[in-house]
Amino acid sequence: MSQSGLAIKATRADNFYFPPDYEERHGTINKINKAHTLGKRAKYISDGIIIIRFEMPFHVRCDKCLQRTAQGVRFNARKKKVGSYYTTPIYEFTFLCKKCENPFVIRTDPEHAGYSLESGCTKCAMEWDPKSA
């Protein structure tokens, strides 16, 4: 079997490919390729922002187009640390309405163990009557 065939089989085994001229003293493959370990998610890392997958914690309504977004809908959001409550960090998540691209801004609220809606959307009041159940 040729050398190239062995190299391809090795990538299937451990999911890492090291070029033939690789030497450990040069550092990691990411360092050699000048790539970040988080890939595209680290596009705004210099600004303290990372791209994450955010799931809506409750039903909201867009302030611009009045489109309802249900609890559990997922977005690619920009996560940024904006402060702290004692030693617990407060994060801000920014993402766009799926219909009109109005920005939603949601912050963690460690004091009340939840989230606060900063701008772009309002929480939908969930009406429930226990007698009807």
Query: What is the reported pLDDT for 70?
Result: 92
d(CA 131, CA 128): 9
Residues 86 and 105 in one domain: yes
Residues 20 and 48 in one domain: no
Instruction: With CA atoms as reference, report the closest residue to 17 among 36, 32, 2, 39.
Output: 32
Residues 81 and 119 in one domain: yes
At 49, give phi and psi (nearest 5°): -115, 140
Query: What is the reported pLDDT for 48?
Result: 78
- Is 126:114 a contact under the CB 8 Å cutoff? no
pLDDT in tens, the chain (133 residues): 455 555 555 555 556 677 777 777 777 766 766 676 777 777 777 787 888 899 999 999 999 999 999 999 999 999 999 999 999 999 999 999 999 999 999 999 999 999 999 999 999 877 666 777 6
- Domain region containing 25: 3-33
Query: What is the reported pLDDT for 125?
Result: 79
Query: What is the reported pLDDT for 128?
Result: 65
